[in-house]
Amino acid sequence: MADQNSVFMGMDLRCQVNNHAHRTEEMDLERLLVRRGQPFSLALQCSTPLPPKHKLAMILHLGKEGEVVVKVLDARADRDKWWFRHQRAQNEVLLTVHSPADTPVGLYSMTLLLLSPDGHSLEQTTPETFYLLFNPWCKADSVYLPDEELLEEYILNENGLLYQGSWDQISSLPWNFGQFEQDVVDICFEILNNSPAALKTPEIDTANRADPVYVSRTITAMVNANDDRGVVSGRWDGKYDDGVPPTRWTGSVAILRRWSEAGAQRVRYGQCWVFSGVACTVLRCLGIPTRPVTNYSSAHDTDGNLNVDYLYDEQLESVSEGRKDMIWNYHCWVESWMDREDLPKGYDGWQALDPTPQERSDGVYCCGPCPVKAVRDGDVGMKYDASFVFSEVNADLVTWIVYPDGQRSQVSLNQKTVGQNISTKSVYGDYREDITKHYKYPEAGSEKEREVYEKAGRRVTQLNRGPGQLEMKIKHAQAILGTDFDVIVEVHNVGGEDTPAQLTVTSNAITYNSLHRGECQRRTASLTVPAQKAHKEVMRLRYDHYGACVSEHNLIRVTALLQASGQPDVILQEVNIPLSMPQLHVKVVGDAVVSRKLIAHISFTNPLPITLRGGVFTVEGAGLTAPRELQAPGDIGPGQEVKVKLSFKPTRAGLRKLMVDFDADRLRDVKGIATLIVRNKLTVN
């Protein structure tokens, strides 16, 4: 309460007016959240009109301990300075505050002072706080994006799609980014405050938060928990008993809140889509336009030679030693839009940022920001990590057979496998946009492609043999989890003589990032292929064989090795088969009005020939309900339907999505979604 002799009675931050103007009203209407480079207004209430010759002064403090002090000038100033102007209106003063478009983002503390004519401080207001965010609507801001439709998606949309599956069978995973949910903005700055730089040199770190390059790189390091007090711990071995399976998450909000509530303790567990989803939430919340990206057949080149080398023995057992090169069925990262004033001209725009801990960059598990244009043009020396990202989308796949005497033979070379159908959600709806052309020029040996490879310092790999008499292809019927299905290996003899050969076919359960979980079946056959004819070898993959070892990603890799008798030529072919998943049915009953009760009915039918135990439904939706878990009512037998329902009250109007996941002991990652339009409560006259 103000002293009875004081002039200042209080300050109105005009949160509703300012937050609406700064497009932060979805975050909060009780607190002030504004964007840099755009003015905001305050109303100072006084007990009497201000004495005519007295002046107002404004002081800002920034940083965890308020270590950065900013004096706001009381007259128009250059664009790189804070300044304010004011209008007196009887017992009230309306102030308009102008911030530079390149000032650090963060939580500011603001104090107004009343100065005597000779400049002495007579009294001051109680400090008030406000968040200052990046401003992609401001031309002077380095994250400026001059397209309102893109900003609606890449800043304001709280729902999205993360793409999974395989290059030839793409699937989408609905994700609740929830960047405007309660307290998420506080958690985003809490993440920055827990970075090693913030803890070691807070004043320098605070000043560097003016730069989206610095902030986004810090976020990619902090989203994973490998080096620091980061958010998510990654795990890929299927052992999740001491945490949450990565497939169970349906959005970022539960993860961020769990990390914060535990005192910056890592959340177990995540995989690449979880890391990218959380990073997208944080960066959008801070005001940096961001979109999730999926690269299919994504290379993880551990030795930096721009090749992914697979080594097998003659029994098709992997004999790679140490850290293995791998091709992930898909890999998710994010792109953020910003200027790159730290680089030569031409590298502004989309920057790739990868928070999944794969390789160290400057001693830390992070990747980027890397200009997408640098990747496309082979400028692998550009900051940050352009060589690694270039390899993810361009590496050659080279397969070798290693013989008992240590000699090895190159049996296949594929220069088109890696980096296919690079995808993001369209800004125009819930469908896929292909952005492969942003990362690479058309393949098939184009002149531009060869020029880029040479520029990247890449030695063009050649297969060390010409075409042989035998050719091989692998085909398969649609594969549905829980059913038996056929895989057909076709061997064609294009020569003029009958050819005897040895064929080995294996099927292995793998994860999406190529980790083997177990062999399902193996077949070896001696065959003779007539001249100008084909031989078909059929392997029936039975659920009895693959069901016990299939990973939560529901992938089967079939590998076939063909060697013509008495000839040195060896052919190896490989195909990854995604198993189609069932879906949940979600129906919402009731009028979708803010604060009015709705009922969600969720049903699921067990498609497997086994009983499921420990079933859990996870439900969440930005503006609808906080993340909640519902236990399935008992075991679920083969073909049995289970139904659950929950009630919730929407908190915010607009297009909203309720996302549901089902996990059990032998079945994970079953998803469902309901879309509804929530209206504000009608005003009662």
Catalytic positions, please?
272, 331, 354
Least Cα distance to 185 among 39, 284, 270, 99 occurs for 284
C-alpha atoms less than 13 angstroms from C-alpha of 232 in its C-beta half-sphere: 31
Rounded Cα–Cα distance for residues 333 and 276 (Å): 5
Q: Is 299:325 a contact under the CB 8 Å cutoff?
A: yes
Q: How many CB atoms lie within 10 A of CB 87?
A: 9
Amino acid, single-letter form, for residue 670 = V
* Residue for token pair 């969720």: 602
Q: Which residues pair with 92 in a beta bridge?
A: 45, 89
Rounded Cα–Cα distance for residues 174 and 685 (Å): 40
Q: What is the DSSP letter of 461?
A: P
Tokens of 512: 């999406």
Rounded Cα–Cα distance for residues 178 and 399 (Å): 43
Amino acid, single-letter form, for residue 219 = I
The dihedral through the CA atoms of 342, 346, 350, 352 has a sign that is: negative
Rounded Cα–Cα distance for residues 296 and 24 (Å): 35
- Concatenated DSSP letters of 136-161: TT-TTSTT----HHHHIIIII--EEE
C-alpha atoms less than 13 angstroms from C-alpha of 375 in its C-beta half-sphere: 29
Rounded Cα–Cα distance for residues 285 and 283 (Å): 5
Rounded Cα–Cα distance for residues 155 and 601 (Å): 31
Contacts of 452 (CB under 8 A, 6+ apart): 376, 377, 378, 440, 441
Query: Phi/psi class of residue 292: alpha, beta or left (left: φ > 0; alpha: ψ in -120 to 50)?
Result: beta
Q: Distance between terminal CA atoms of the chain? A: 35
Q: Which residues pair with 571 in a beta bridge?
A: 562
Rounded Cα–Cα distance for residues 82 and 13 (Å): 17
Least Cα distance to 608 among 557, 538, 520, 670 occurs for 670
Least Cα distance to 292 among 135, 470, 129, 163 occurs for 163
Q: How far is CA 331 from the centre of its chain?
A: 10
Three-state secondary-structure class, residue 259 = helix
Three-state secondary-structure class, residue 376 = helix
